[in-house]
């Protein structure tokens, strides 16, 4: 059982615009739907109420210009910023389940770092969810300057990342799954009702087998009683009119993903009811901390699979899960929404959401990275491809019998990684036990405890390991000090000390070459060709948003009211490039940082911003 220091429960006090959506946005070419699926039942779904459809045109009052961003959706490689300790603190506070001993500057606990690394892994293809929710929050709150005048500076980029990250909240998962089970008519009816409120309440996502994409819907136009055109802000096409066409009679939809002319896209996406969903701001706003055990924050398992091919599978107690196929009962699978048009043959990202207390067996024949959170731990699996049996995942452990598979397990502030035959990691709550069979048949056992909380057990077959070694045991001895104990086949030991930080403690971990996102996204023009014209303030010249601004104003410390004061890291006021009006977004007293999102004061029980 974890100690009390890991049992702190906090509601998510969203900072800036970090009330976000679901999933990443990895898109591929056109084609049919069938990519998103849940197995039915009530294991995952939230309760939702469907309003009555009016069948009338309705407009929220939002527009891609000025309420969307002028720069296009980008992948992780386009920015030097990463999701890190400051983002964890801004979203969840600096309690001891987030920062070691609850101290500042924050050193993320092993489990918090694993969650951050999962976010960074899934930013590779894009941030469409973050774009959509940040635009929605700023519009609903009436913030100035309008989003189209903000540039891709560190403040705005961080806000988008935080918004993107909330896709991994359990409450957003549950509501999205519930909406996936509704008809297209029900979803259109919900949007009609939301638009009438003049608040941006929902985001919308669409899926194909190669990926998913999130957009911000703002109007509905009926071209006939059975055909609704949902007008959207699409971060892939800044400032442009784009839409999703829904055939209510046939329960189908089409979406011009990559066509510069949305009226003529030969590779338009299409699908059915389960391949289009919506998620409310309320679902994100009511989330609790999405990692850590002991107080019920996490009651289901979320696993993210990034793979070089679509030939992987997961065996669950209720059946086999495969990408693009119907999920068994109680299980949900869909592409991560990151929208960067990876293209056929490029790595894909999928999200699996399963009930608690289930053993999962992953079959991973090609290069794959799996990362995720269970009710008791954070896990990671990495392989260049394995054909030596499945990788088994439980709530508190992971095991494999292939030296080419690297496993990691984080529980509280303990973390271990290992590879080898008979490789098994398991947590008791107070320590992590590592058991590996070395090449000479020797059984190697290591206990990871608070006295040595980060360990990596390495055997030949793993990059960087001496093929003549029997086993290497790396232990983090200090903030920047690693002890390396090398044991050869005869039992001789060599101990050395080196500078560095074990990869399993880092928030941003290198992506294997086989899983890197393509530099050029098939089907879309370059990002530079898709920059929107900036709407000027009265009397100001028209300009175009270009490279990230180089000047960012300094931040001021801010606190959130609650049961205990918690200092949050805040984003800096946004500096608008020369030639545009410069407006500083002030941070109101006793609120989370405003940054580019400029949210209204937060409450101990969070509510949708802009109210």
pLDDT of residue 163: 95
pLDDT number for residue 222: 98
**pLDDT over 90 at 354, yes or no:** yes
Q: What is the pTM of this model?
A: 0.84
Helix (H/G/I), strand (E/B), else coil: 12: coil
Beta bridge partners of 478: 481
Q: Which of 442, 472, 548 is nearest to 150 (CA)?
A: 548
E strand map for 265-420: 269-271, 276-280, 301-307, 313-316, 319-321, 332-335, 348-354, 360-363, 368-373, 378-383, 391-394, 397-400, 405-411, 414-418
Spatial separation of the C-alpha atoms in residues 358 and 381, rounded to whole Å = 17
Structure confidence by residue, pLDDT tens digits, 185-203: 999 999 999 999 999 999 9
Residue 5: which pLDDT band, with cuts at 50, 70 and 90? very low
Q: Is the pLDDT assigned to residue 412 strictly greater than 70? A: yes
| Residue 39 pLDDT > 70 | no
Residue 42: predicted pLDDT: 46
Look at residue 498 in the predicted model and tell me its pLDDT.
Answer: 96
pLDDT of residue 339: 54
Percent of the chain past pLDDT 70, that is, above it, reads 77
| Least trusted range by pLDDT, from 117-126, 329-338, 398-407 | 329-338
Would the pLDDT of 555 be above 90?
no
Which tens digits make up the pLDDT trace of 478-492? 989 999 999 999 999
Interatomic CA distance for residues 14 and 19, integer angstroms: 6
- Which residues contact residue 431 at a Cβ distance below 8 angstroms, ignoring those fewer than 6 apart? 414, 447, 448, 449
Higher pLDDT, 588 or 191: 191
Residue 9 has pLDDT above 50, yes or no: no
Give the mean pLDDT of 108-124: 96
Token pair listed for 22: 């679901």
The whole-number average pLDDT for the span 566-579 is 34
How many Cβ atoms from other residues are within 10 Å of residue 541's Cβ? 9
**Separate counts of helices (H) and strands (E) for the chain:** 8, 30
Specify the pLDDT at position 209: 78
Which carries the bigger pLDDT value, residue 159 or residue 15? 159
> Is residue 55 within 8 Å of residue 367, measured between CB atoms?
no
pLDDT tens digits for 289-343? Answer: 999 864 557 899 999 999 999 999 999 999 999 998 989 999 999 998 875 445 5
In this prediction, residue 379 carries a pLDDT of: 98
pLDDT of residue 338: 74
Averaged over 16-24, what is the pLDDT? 35
- Asked if 56 contacts 192 with a C-beta cutoff of 8 angstroms, the reply is yes
Q: Kindly report the number of other CB atoms within 10 A of residue 275's CB atom.
A: 27
Which pLDDT band, with edges at 50, 70 and 90, does 31 fall under?
low
Identify the DSSP state of 239: T
| pLDDT band (50, 70, 90) for residue 17 | very low
Average pLDDT, the chain: 83
Question: Closest by alpha carbon to 276, among 241, 249, 245, 310?
Answer: 245
Stretch among 93-102, 140-149, 496-505, 596-605 having the lowest mean pLDDT = 596-605
Mean pLDDT of 527-539: 75
């Amino acid at each position: 059982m974890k100690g009390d220091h890991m049992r702190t429960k906090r509601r998510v006090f969203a900072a800036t615009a970090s009330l976000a959506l679901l999933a990443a946005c990895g898109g591929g070419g056109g084609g049919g739907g069938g990519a998103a699926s849940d197995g039915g039942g009530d294991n995952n779904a939230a309760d939702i109420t469907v309003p009555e459809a009016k069948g009338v045109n309705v407009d929220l009052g939002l527009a891609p210009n000025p309420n969307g961003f002028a720069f296009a959706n980008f992948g992780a490689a386009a920015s030097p910023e990463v999701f890190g300790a400051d983002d964890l603190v801004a979203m969840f506070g600096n309690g001891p389940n987030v920062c070691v001993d609850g101290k500042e500057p924050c050193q993320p606990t092993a489990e918090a770092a694993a969650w951050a690394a999962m976010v960074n892994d899934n930013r590779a293809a894009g941030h469409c969810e973050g774009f959509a929710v940040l635009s929605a929050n700023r519009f609903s709150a009436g913030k100035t300057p309008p989003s189209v005048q903000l540039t891709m500076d560190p403040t705005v980029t961080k806000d988008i990342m935080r918004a993107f990250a909330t896709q991994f909240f359990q409450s957003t998962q549950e509501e999205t799954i519930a909406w996936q089970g509704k008809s297209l008519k029900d979803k259109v009816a919900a949007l009609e009702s939301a638009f009438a409120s003049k608040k941006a309440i929902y985001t919308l996502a669409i899926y194909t087998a190669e990926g998913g994409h999130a957009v911000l819907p703002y109007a509905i136009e009926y071209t006939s009683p059975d055909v609704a055109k949902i007008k959207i802000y699409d971060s892939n096409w800044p400032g442009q009119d784009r839409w999703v066409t829904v055939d209510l009679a046939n329960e189908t939809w089409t979406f011009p993903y990559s066509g510069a002319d949305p009226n003529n896209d030969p590779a338009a996406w299409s699908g059915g009811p389960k391949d289009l969903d919506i998620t409310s701001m309320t679902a994100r706003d009511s989330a609790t901390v999405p990692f850590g055990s002991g107080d019920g924050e996490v009651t289901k398992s979320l696993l993210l699979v990034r793979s070089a091919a679509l030939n992987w599978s997961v065996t669950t107690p209720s059946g086999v899960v495969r990408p693009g196929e119907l999920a068994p009962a109680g299980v949900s699978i869909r592409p991560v929404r990151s929208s960067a048009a990876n293209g056929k043959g490029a790595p894909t990202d999928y999200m699996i959401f399963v009930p608690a207390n289930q053993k999962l067996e992953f079959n991973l024949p090609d290069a794959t990275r799996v990362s995720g959170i269970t009710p008791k731990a954070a896990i990671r699996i990495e392989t260049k491809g394995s054909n030596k049996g499945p990788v088994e995942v439980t709530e508190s452990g992971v095991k494999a019998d292939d030296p080419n598979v690297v496993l990691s397990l984080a529980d509280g502030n303990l973390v271990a990684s290992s590879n080898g035959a008979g490789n098994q990691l398991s947590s008791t709550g107070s320590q992590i036990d590592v058991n590996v069979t070395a090449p000479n048949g020797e059984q190697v056992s290591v206990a990871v405890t608070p006295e040595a909380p980060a360990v990596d057990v390495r055997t030949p077959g793993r990059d960087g390991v001496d093929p003549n070694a029997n086993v290497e045991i790396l232990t983090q001895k200090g903030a920047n000090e690693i002890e390396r104990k090398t044991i050869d086949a005869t039992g001789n030991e060599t101990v050395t000390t080196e500078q560095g930080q074990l990869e399993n403690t880092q928030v941003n971990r290198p992506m294997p070459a086989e899983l890197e996102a393509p530099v050029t996204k098939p089907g879309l023009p370059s990002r530079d060709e898709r920059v929107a014209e900036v709407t000027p303030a009265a009397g100001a010249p028209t300009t175009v948003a270009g490279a990230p601004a180089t000047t960012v104003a300094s931040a001021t410390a801010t606190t959130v009211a609650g049961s205990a004061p918690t200092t949050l890291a805040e984003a800096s006021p946004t500096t608008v490039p020369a030639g545009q009006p410069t407006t500083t977004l002030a941070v109101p007293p006793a609120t989370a940082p405003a940054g580019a999102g400029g949210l209204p004061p937060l409450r101990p029980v969070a509510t949708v911003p802009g109210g």
